[in-house]
Structure 1
Amino acid sequence: MSGKNQHVVQRENGWAVRGEGNSRDTSHHSTQAEAAEAAREIARRQESEVLIHGRDGRIRERDSYGNDPFPPKG
């Protein structure tokens, strides 16, 4: 079973990681890169996805660290 997807979102004083469906942020960071790395570590442990949002709030990058339903053929 996979865990919650992790979202990297902008906040007033930096960037935050928030688990999908959570009411509170998991962690706060001064840069988007720091928040993205923290989200990736959580996603690797939970075998879930990281969704990085841009300053406009739209998803600009998505990485999967779980069991992909349709793995690419090599």
Structure 2
Amino acid sequence: MANHGVETYHENGQWKNRIQGNSRASNTAETKREAQAEGRRMAQARGVEHTIKKLDGTIGERNSYGNDPHPPKG
């Protein structure tokens, strides 16, 4: 089974987290800060990447907490 990352995103006036590939949110939060903290906790527990999207849906930040598929070069 593939280890899918965690995504923090905004939808219908709420910040949400979901496991990538799932259609439903795992949890919701009042603020981006709260959702981001919970998304980070979820990603760390699973050892996967956490993708944080901006209000407009574009990717704002990515953090890896496990096997980084694209490690830094150098």
Q: Mark yes or no: TM-score above 0.5.
A: yes
Please give the range of the TM-score, normalised by the shorter of the 2 chains.
Answer: 0.7 to 0.9
- Normalised by the length of structure 2, the TM-score is 0.85
The residue aligned with 2:53 is 53
Matched residue, 1:5: 5
State the TM-score, normalized to the length of structure 1: 0.85
Gaps of 5+ in 2: none
Question: What's the Cα RMSD here?
Answer: 1.9
3-state SS of 1:8 partner: strand
Q: Give the length in aligned residue pairs.
A: 73
Identity of aligned residues (%): 36
| Residue in 2 that maps onto 1:34 | 34
Counterpart CA distance in 2 for 1:72 and 1:2 is: 25
The equivalent residue for 1:22 is 22
Q: Which runs of 5+ in 1 are unaligned?
A: none
Give 1:72 deviation, angstroms.
6.2
